Amino acid sequence: MKYLVIGLGNIGTEYHNTRHNIGFTVLDALSKASNIVFEPDRYAYVTKYKFKGRTIIMIKPTTYMNLSGKAVNYWLQKEKISIENSLTIVDDLNLDFGTIRIKQKGSHGGHNGLSHICQTLGNSNFPRMRFGVSNNFSQGKQVDHVLGKWTEQEEIDLHYRVKTMIEAIKSFATIGITRTMNNFNGKIEN
């Protein structure tokens, strides 16, 4: 059983540890905890994670957020993984900080990375895990908010949220999307 887990983000040190890069943050934490290393490859940094008989290909696209579909499409085809066995990790302004929302499919909700994936794949029928970054910003400051660093308090709480998201990835690969949604949606406790 093979799975593709996509952590959306932007490459470059200026984007490190920003809200928009939560996908990179989660996959980096999982790779560090598992003693595996990302290597540069076509359109993405890539690594393989073995868990309970499953192979989870993890990618961090190097195409920048707005062209994420290029990497997703390439790696789905290269690894011969069905779209149902993919999970895209993304930030969400419409959810309170730390809220996790896993869905089997849905609209892009105005997120440029998801929008490009939908456009490239020709549909929006792919699993995604959204992480709430809140909409706590002044009018016209959306870009500053999503590309901004976490607050001191968010940093503290983020550690626990990332652990929960890692557990959700493992759950997705072992017990499937439906039970994973039931177990993790809305979960924000430490």
Q: What is the CATH number of the domain that holds 164?
A: 3.40.50.1470
Q: Is residue 189 in a domain?
A: no
Q: Given this model, what pLDDT does residue 137 score?
A: 76
Q: Is residue 158 in a domain?
A: yes
Q: Given this model, what pLDDT does residue 186 score?
A: 67
Please answer whether residues 88 and 126 qualify as being in contact, where contact means their C-beta atoms are separated by less than 8 angstroms.
yes
Q: Given this model, what pLDDT does residue 190 score?
A: 45
What does the radius of gyration of the chain's CA atoms come to, in whole angstroms?
15
Q: Any idea which residue has 């989870």 for tokens?
A: 56
Number of domains in the chain: 1
Q: Given this model, what pLDDT does residue 146 score?
A: 81
Give residue 130's domain range. 2-184
Q: Is residue 8 in a domain?
A: yes
How many residues are recorded in the chain? Answer: 190
Q: Is residue 91 in a domain?
A: yes
User: Which residues of the chain are under the pLDDT cut of 70?
Assistant: 186-190
> CA 117, CA 18: separation in Å to the nearest integer?
21
E strands, the chain, in order: 2-7, 39-41, 44-51, 54-61, 86-92, 100-103, 128-132
Q: Is residue 190 in a domain?
A: no
Q: Is residue 81 in a domain?
A: yes
DSSP letter (8 states) at residue 76: H
Long-range contacts for 155-158 (Cβ within 8 Å, ≥24 apart)?
157/97, 157/98, 157/190, 158/25, 158/98
Which phi and psi (to 5°) does residue 97 adopt? -50, 130
Please answer whether residues 36 and 49 qualify as being in contact, where contact means their C-beta atoms are separated by less than 8 angstroms.
yes
- Cα of first residue to Cα of last residue in the chain, in angstroms, is 31
Residues serving a catalytic function are 20
Q: Given this model, what pLDDT does residue 37 score?
A: 97
Please answer whether residues 128 and 114 qualify as being in contact, where contact means their C-beta atoms are separated by less than 8 angstroms.
yes
